[in-house]
Structure 1
Amino acid sequence: MQRIAQVARLRPELREEYLALHREVWPDVEAALRAAHIRNYSIFLHEDMLFAYYEYHGEDFTADLETIKADPESQRWWTFTDPCQIPWPDAADGGRWSDLPEIWHLSDEVKEDPDA
């Protein structure tokens, strides 16, 4: 499983539109994400910064992302959501979201204290 975190900026004047869209995400968009092995997808909002987190459970991340990009309903969804976002300068080609490097993770494994 691969954990992914990303950030984007929300256009303040389109905030309510973006929030309304995400109150009722289209079922076909959710199905495309699930088919691409995306799980536990959440988007958080702090002021005008969007923070997304999801887990990838597949074998070929690049190929699975391409299936989402090729999905007609996802493409149509983005015609509504993309105008609401301001991309970071380092966003991937034509993208809106910037990937964040993971610097720490609390795992489920409990490590023994070597000094105990």
Structure 2
Amino acid sequence: MEKIAFVMQLKPGFEAEYKKRHDELWPDIAAELKKAGVSDYSIFLHPQTLQLFAVLKRTDNHTMDGLPATAAVKRWWAFMADIMETHPDNSPVEAALLPVFHFE
């Protein structure tokens, strides 16, 4: 199992809407994530910068790289594009974070 983290950027004024949309996560998105080997996925919001910090675990044989090709993920990205910084294909602008410390 591998843990990864990344950041994304929320547009101003959409804090409550972002949370609402994730509180109502579509079942097909949850199913695609599980099928790809993703678990224990959390997103945190930095209220001053509106930066979204995401951390998740994925299996060693994960298929996360294939998620962007799924219809469910494409629909989710289109649904979220109005409130987040995105690329032209609606995928979130994200930056990987490098692990520097871990304590269990």
TM bracket (short chain) = 0.7 to 0.9
Listed as ranges, the matches of 1:70-81 within 5 Å are 70-81=69-80
Give the Cα–Cα distance (whole angstroms) in 2 for the partners of residues 105 and 17 of structure 1.
Answer: 32
After TM superposition, where is structure 1 displaced by more than 6 Å over at least 4 residues in a row? none
Whose radius of gyration is greater, 1 or 2? Answer: 1
Q: Which amino acid aligns with 1:50?
A: L
For the residue of structure 1 that corresponds to 2:13, the secondary structure is helix
Q: Which amino acid aligns with 1:81?
A: M
Root mean square deviation, CA, Å: 1.7
Listed as ranges, the matches of 1:1-116 within 5 Å are 1-47=1-47, 48-59=50-61, 61=62, 64-86=63-85, 95-107=92-104
**TM-score normalized by the length of structure 1:** 0.75
Q: Which deviates the most, 50-59 or 12-21?
A: 12-21
Residue 101 of structure 1: CA displacement? Answer: 0.1
**Unaligned ranges ≥5, structure 2:** none
Q: Identity, % of aligned pairs?
A: 33
Give the Cα–Cα distance (whole angstroms) in 2 for the partners of residues 85 and 95 of structure 1.
Answer: 7
